[in-house]
Amino acid sequence: MTDAPLLKVRDVSKFYGARIGCRNVSFELWPGEVLAIVGESGSGKTTLLNCLATRLMPTSGTIEYRMRDGQMRDLAHMGEAERRFLMRTDWGFVHQNPADGLRMAVSAGANVGERLMAVGQRHYGNIRATAGDWLRRVEIEVDRIDDQPRAFSGGMRQRLQIARNLVTSPRLVFMDEPTGGLDVSVQARLLDLVRNLVHDLGLSAIIVTHDLAVARLLSHRMMVMKDGQVIEQGLTDRVLDDPREAYTQLLVSSILQV
């Protein structure tokens, strides 16, 4: 852990015309830290995530990122080329629907290898070896390396998407409902995998989820959003075990117990 934040977010707002996407969100994310953004559909959590990941331009506010050289850079003032380079090297983005984050018509190996080729790797054998290595890490049989993801199950696709994102050793990964749409047993496997990868690689991550169990398992810290605003934030177990706000108490008390 270093003593400087990786991401500094100040007063970020996004309006869709008169409608509020998210409003006045501020926080800092530190290296190795996992932040969960929770809230129900329409609370603005995905809008916020997309603003942070520069997939949407915020209406106001600043987002600064500490580059590998240690400099804090305002993402809005970065050129598009540099921003896109950042996105495919130092960042990852895991979509809820793996089809949005994968190339469904090319093989698993090429899906994982694409980022390597994008940063200039030109040795087929090495690229393939690295891809195979990553398939193993996300528990996909290496003999599936030449299969297309359309032949994969939902859980495998999601794991492939994660491998594809992590192959360049990013420092920050955004995840949008990574376990949404998966069976419970498949979810558990994925959560365990993500938890270990985050720990082993020292990743920072921002995870949007409506599932408080996912937040508890994966995150150190969480933010609760309602109507576009962060209404409560803090240590994950404190927010879940001792919620202060009425809405958070409602959310926590609405969890089904098994």
Partner 1 sequence: MNAVSTELATYNFAYLDEQTKRMIRRAILKAIAIPGYQVPFASREMPMPYGWGTGGVQVTAAILGPDDVLKVIDQGADDTTNAVSIRAFFKKVANMAVTTKTGEATIIQTRHRIPEEKLTAGQTLVYQVPIPEPLRFLEPRETETRKMHALEEYGLMHVKLYEDIARNGHIATTYAYPVKVEGRYVMDPSPTPKFDNPKMHMSEALQLFGAGREKRIYAVPPYTEVVSLDFEDHPFEIQTFDKPCALCGAENVYLDEVVLDDKGGRMFVCSDTDHCEDRRDHGHCGTMLAYDKETAR
Partner 2 sequence: MATPLVVSEVAKSFTMHLRDGVCLPVVSDVSFSVKAGECVVLGGPSGIGKSSLLKMVYGNYGVDGGQILVEHEGRTIDLASADPRTVLAVRRVTLGYVSQFLRVVPRVAAIDVVAEPLVAGGELPASARERAEAMLARLNLPRELWQLPPATFSGGEQQRVNIARGFITDHRILLLDEPTASLDIKNREVVVDMIEEKKRAGVALLGIFHDEDVRTKVADRIVDVSAFSPRRAA
We find the least distance from the C-beta atom of residue 26 to partner 1, in angstroms, to be: 31
The nearest distance, CB 197 to partner 2, in angstroms, is: 14
Binding letters toward partner 1, positions 144-163, x by CB under 8 A: -xx-----------------
SS3 letters for 140-194? CCHHHCCCCHHHCCHHHHHHHHHHHHHCCCCCEEEEECCCCCCCHHHHHHHHHHH
- Would you put residue 123 in left (φ > 0), alpha (ψ -120 to 50) or beta? beta
- 250 near partner 2, judged by CB under 8 A: yes
Q: Near partner 2 by CB under 8 A, which window of 123-131, 148-156, 202-210, 236-244?
A: 236-244
- Phi and psi for 204 in degrees, rounded to 5? -100, 145
Distance CA 210, CA 37 (A): 8
Nearer to partner 2, 94 or 218 (CB): 218
Residue 100 in the binding site for partner 2 (CB under 8 A): no
Tell me how far apart the alpha carbons of residues 125 and 42 are, in angstroms, rounded to a whole number: 46
Q: Which residues inside 26-85 make contact with partner 1, applying CB under 8 A?
A: 80-81, 84
Distances 224 to 36, 116, 203, 232 between C-alpha atoms, Å: 8, 36, 22, 5
Tell whether residue 143 is a contact of partner 1 (CB under 8 A): no
Q: Which residues bind partner 1 (CB under 8 A)?
A: 80-81, 84, 88, 103, 106-107, 109-110, 113-115, 117-119, 122-125, 127-128, 145-146
Q: Which residues bind partner 2 (CB under 8 A)?
A: 1, 30, 33, 188-189, 191-192, 195, 199, 217, 220-221, 234-238, 241-242, 244-246, 249-250, 253
